[in-house]
Structure 1
Amino acid sequence: MMGVSIPGLASGLQTDTLIAKLMSIEKIPYNNLQVKKTNIDNNKSVFNNINLKLKTLRDAATSLSDLDSFKINGGTSSDPSKVAVTVGDNAISGNYTIKVSKLAKPHVVAMNAISVLGSDGKDASFDTDTYKDTIIDVNGKEIKFSDLDLKDKTTNEALAEIAKAINKSDAGVQASVIQTEPGKKSLVLTAKESGEDHKITTSVTGAGSALFTIDGNAGQSAQNAELTINGVKITSSSNTIKDAVPGMTFQLLAEDSTVNVEVKQDVDKIASKIDAFVKAYNEIIDIIKENTKKITNEKDSDGNYKDFKTNLQGDSLLRDLKNELYGIVSGVGAKNNGEGFQLLSQIGIEIDKGATTAATMTGKITFDKELFKEKMAENSAAVEELFRGDNGLGTIAKERLKDWTSVNGLIKMKMDGYESEISFINDQMENMNARLILKEEALNKKFTAMEVALTKLQNEQNWMTSQLNSLTKSKS
């Protein structure tokens, strides 16, 4: 809001300051709307945060209620340096004896060593003209020397170019140049995949066929892995054995070795799912508590109330949500005719554990992981019932939180209401700002007119004074 004024030319008044003070009074309703908008926006942010946390909580509940939530298994190898094991969630519990007789090996083909030094001991030149018609075929991919940049190359450089071309040919091999003895190097081809199904086929035509010949005494034959799992014979082109046992992967690392692999329920992984639920639950309780606590008169160094963040102290939806969360946990119970465990507290999950007074109650969950593991070992099926049963924690939470977290859920409706209020206030502020601009312009015009009028009067007064002075002088 800006205007043009002539400050105090005639009146001596600081009209700019006076107008600013008058406008500050006029702007009080506008500023009040700004404060209201800020408060509403803060409240909306709180509910948006709660909405995200509730979705996390519902995801954690869903994870606890699904069919595989308590079928998580882990596996251990008696000697991971010989056979390592990775276990998926659908692995079957049991003990497995793995006997490895052979490891899978890739086919390696080595060509006869070629002299790379001349009689003078210096790098020998590659005879491009002699070998220009040479073609090396590797697994059906032809490498034509005529297509390569071999002109004026040393033998060392030519071998490197040939190996580079083979690697670019997508022949399924890795070509390299290896020094076999001082002054001699060999072109070596190694299959990228192990096993008998990935043998390398090679042929050389043209003048280079005499130079690039296979060294029958070098290289390595392709070999499949051979092993038994609980006496069942298995062969594989790879040392990574997948799904020979459902949900398990074995990595073979040593021949002529025997290891035992034990697969059992992984209680730590199950406990981590409960940890995720407890963490999300407690974070929501903290948010509710922080934004509904009683406001005190204590101020910080900037003069702001320390406790004042939002005006949600009496918000009914937050109160209902807190009651809903408490009801979810307290409503858990097993339908197992009195056998096994009936309450979450029996397996280490409890609200306000140890609290004896209202002042010490937080509404938050504690999770005794060691007690949970103990009860899992005692009766895992009964523990599972408290999470996956009809009245289980995961089942109840997943269903009852649906009304809070859905697209048209209670929290979303609350945020939409705030958004509508903010939009209405924005319209009010825009209209009010337009009126304030007009008001300030009117004040500037009035004070400017006043200064002009005063200036005119002062000029007239000065003229009359000068006339009177002239008359007085003439009479004297």
Structure 2
Amino acid sequence: MATISFSGLGSGLDINTLTSQLVAAERAPAENRINNAAAKINSQLSALGTVKSALDNLHAAIGKLATSSDTPAFKATVQDKAGFTASAAGDVAAGRYQVEVLSLANTHKLGSAAFAKDAAVGHGTLQISAGSSSYEVAIAEGATLADIAKAINTASGGKGVTASVVNADAGQHLVLNATTAGSAGMLTVTASGGDGGLAALVYEPGGGANTLQETVAATDAQVKVDGFLRTADSNTVADLVPGLTLNLTAAKPGEAFTVNVGTDNSALKANLQSLVSMYNAANSVLRGVSAYDPETRRASALTGDSMVRGLQQQLRSALGEHSFELRAMGLTVATDGTLSLETSKLDSALATDPDSVRKLFGAEGTVGSRLATQINGAIDASTGTLTQRTGSLNRRMGDLSDQMDALNRRMEAVQTRYMAQFTAMDTLMAQMQSTSSYLTQQLSSLQSLTNNSNK
């Protein structure tokens, strides 16, 4: 008699694997939909980030160009070996100046007679004047020149006067240096009290015997510009001609040297070239994120996006409406939207009309202000179209994350249900297997009895 068999059922059933496969099959459609949507949004967010970065750079370039267009720059050129250098600020007037350096400003310097090394000089009080500043320096009994120099530096804090000790062949010398050049920093030193030893460190012009020697006189600078004399207590003369700063390096009385002050367009040209580069970079990015390859039939992240098309159109129209003025300045737009600059035409335009760049790219320029407004409308942190689109996509990503969480919870419930069902089925199959074995045994016994009775 044939036996009853349940192949692969009962206690041999792999419930975990079967449940996992069923849950995975049920999960796949929803999970794939969520993941595909998230991948698309991430791709769009990345593309928008690239667009914003390019527009940020273009916006910054427009701002720099506007500043250099509205604020003319000047450059001062000095003849060789003139004994001075010159620099020009924005408020200087262009022109030619004849400059003669008669004398330089020197800082006052005093030196003492020689003292034996580490010899006690005396004690009391030194009164030191340095220009409009004055200091009282208490000198302790038994003080050496090194002690006196330290006390002076402590009292002055390095302002007005500094002191040092020079070790020479004849002995040690105290040296006092004014920190301000010219007559404004002239030093005087008097002594009082103590044992009288500090009388060896006195300098008071017109007041009697001076025991400190004037090694460098406090002299003011004197310079003539176009024959007009100017005396200054510094070798940097900043207000002789408004906007023109002279740095005196050598006195050359009787020799006048020419300073030419002219317009400096180097920063303006560099900023205009930077705008061209940033415009082309932004144009390239906008094309790239919206491109479509007909051969591979692959679309980019923002192919067909109306916002991208609008940005491209705005950039083109801002230049296209002033193409004649731009061409006169050396700026041309190719058929693919690429902007280029011909510097020779720009130089010619600036020579003919120095205000030509400002009219187009200054803060109120017809092209620059329009580009800045259009780009700001896209990148503004609150109301910009890129900002709003990015926010919308991030909210959609949040929704997808919520959907994935809900799917996870639902699949956990499905898995629990499948496990319960298969466990119950496995239990039932085990019981049926047991019953099958019992019946097989009973039928086998009955057949054996029948066969025996027939013999």
The answer to whether the 8 Å contact 2:110/2:175 transfers is: yes
Which position in structure 2 is the counterpart of 1:193? 180
Matched, 1:346 2:328: yes
1:180 aligns with 2:132: no
Distance (whole Å) between structure 2 residues aligned to residue 347 and residue 399 of structure 1 = 22
1:85 matched residue in structure 2: 86
* Compared CA separation, residues 199 and 30, structure 1 to 2 (3 A): farther
Equivalence map 1:281-296=2 (5 Å): 281-295=279-293
3-state secondary structure, aligned to 1:241: strand
Partner residue of 1:241 out of 212, 237, 241: 237
**What residue in structure 1 maps to residue 322 of structure 2?**
332
Matched, 1:165 2:154: yes
**1:394 corresponds to 2:394:** no
SS at structure 1 position matched to 2:11: coil
Whether contact under 8 Å (1:109, 1:220) holds in the other structure is yes
CA distance in 2 between counterparts of 1:218 and 1:65 reads 55
Mapping for residues 346-365 of structure 1, pairs under 5 Å: 346-352=328-334, 361-365=335-339
Q: Secondary structure, in 3 states, of the residue corresponding to 1:422?
A: helix
With over 3 angstroms needed to count, the CA separation of the structure-2 counterparts of 1:46 and 1:474, relative to structure 1, is same
Counterparts of 1:295 and 1:9 in 2: how far apart (Å)?
58
Alpha-carbon offset, residue 73 of structure 1: 1.8
Per the TM alignment, residue 235 of structure 1 is displaced from its structure 2 partner at its CA by 1.9
Query: How many residues in Structure 1 have an aligned counterpart in Structure 2?
Result: 427
Distance 1:461 1:204 in 2: 128
CA distance in structure 2 between the aligned counterparts of 1:388 and 1:161, rounded to whole angstroms? 58
For the pair 1:227 / 2:227, whether they are aligned, the reply is no
Q: Structure 1's 20 and 103: CA in aligned 2 closer, same or farther, altered over 3 A?
A: farther
**3-state SS, counterpart of residue 303 of structure 2:** coil
CA shift in 2, pair 1:13/1:423, >3 Å: closer
The answer to whether the 8 Å contact 1:136/1:202 transfers is yes
Cα 1:408–1:445, aligned 2, differ >3 Å: closer, same or farther? same
8 Å CA contact 2:107–2:217 kept in 1: the answer is yes
Q: Secondary structure at the match of 2:262?
A: strand
Paired position in structure 1 for 2:414: 439
Q: Does 1:409 align with 2:409?
A: no
Q: 1:210 to 1:235 in 2, by over 3 A?
A: closer
- Whether 2:134 is the aligned partner of 1:144: answer no
CA contact (8 A) 1:62 1:395 kept: no
Alpha-carbon separation, structure 1, partners of 2:273 and 2:48: 23
1:260 to 234, 258, 261: 258
CA change 1:68–1:461 in 2 (3 A) is: same
2:187 aligns to what SS in structure 1? coil
What is the CA-CA distance between 1:19 and the residue it aligns to?
0.5
Aligned with 1:219: secondary structure?
strand
Distance change in 2, residues 1:349/1:470 (3 Å): same
Q: Compared with structure 1, are the counterparts of its residues 43 and 112 closer, same or farther at alpha carbon in structure 2 (3 Å cutoff)?
A: farther
8 Å CA contact 1:83–1:259 kept in 2: the answer is: no
Deviations 1:9-34 (A, max 9, x none): 93253734761573265044234323
Aligned equivalent of 1:336: none
- Report % sequence identity: 20
Distance 1:12 1:434, change over 3 A: closer
* Distance in 2 of aligned mates of 1:170 and 1:440: 82
Q: Aligned residue for 1:209?
A: 198
Any conservation in 2 of the 1:11–1:454 contact (CA below 8 Å)? no
Alignment map for 1:9-88 (pairs within 5 Å):
10-11=11-12, 13=14, 15-16=16-17, 19=20, 22-23=23-24, 25-65=26-66, 69=70, 71-79=72-80, 82-88=83-89
3-state SS in 2 of match to 1:115: coil
3-state SS in 2 of match to 1:109 = strand
What is the rounded CA distance, in whole Å, between the counterparts of 1:466 and 1:114 in structure 2?
131
Taking only aligned residues, the RMSD between alpha carbons, in angstroms, comes to 3.8
SS of match in other structure, 2:215: coil
Cα distance change of structure 1 residues 461 and 86 upon mapping to structure 2, 3 Å threshold: farther
- Measure the CA separation in 1 of the matches of 2:10 and 2:276: 72
Larger Rg: 2
Contact 1:70–1:270 (8 Å) recurs in 2: no
- Cα distance in structure 2, aligned partners of 1:466 and 1:212: 133
1:302 is aligned to none
Aligned to 2:206: none
Question: Quick one: which amino acid aligns to residue 412 of structure 2?
Answer: I
Q: 2 CA distance for matches of 1:95 and 1:37?
A: 68
SS at match of 2:184: helix
Partner residue of 1:366? 340
TM-score, structure 2 as length reference: 0.79
Q: In 1, are the aligned partners of 2:138 and 2:151 still within 8 Å (CA)? A: no
Gaps of 5+ in 1: 1-7, 117-123, 299-304, 334-341, 353-360
Q: CA deviation at 1:209?
A: 0.7
**Contact kept? 1:66, 1:388, Cα under 8 Å:** yes
Amino acid at match of 1:108: K
Pair 1:318-2:308 in alignment: yes
Distance 1:193 1:425 in 2: 72
Change (3 A) 1:412 1:186: same
Question: Which secondary structure does the structure 2 equivalent of 1:209 belong to?
Answer: helix
Q: Is the 8 A contact 1:109 1:189 kept in 2?
A: yes
Task: Tell me, in whole angstroms, the C-alpha distance in 1 between the residues paired with 2:390 and 2:421.
Answer: 46
The TM-score, its normalising length taken from structure 1, stands at 0.76
Is the alpha carbon distance of 1:270 and 1:171 closer, same or farther for their aligned partners in structure 2, counting shifts above 3 Å? closer
Cα 1:159–1:65 change in 2 (3 A) is closer
One-letter amino acid matched to 2:166:
I
Determine helix, strand or coil for the equivalent of 1:135: strand
Whether the 8 Å CA contact 1:175–1:188 is kept in 2: the answer is: yes
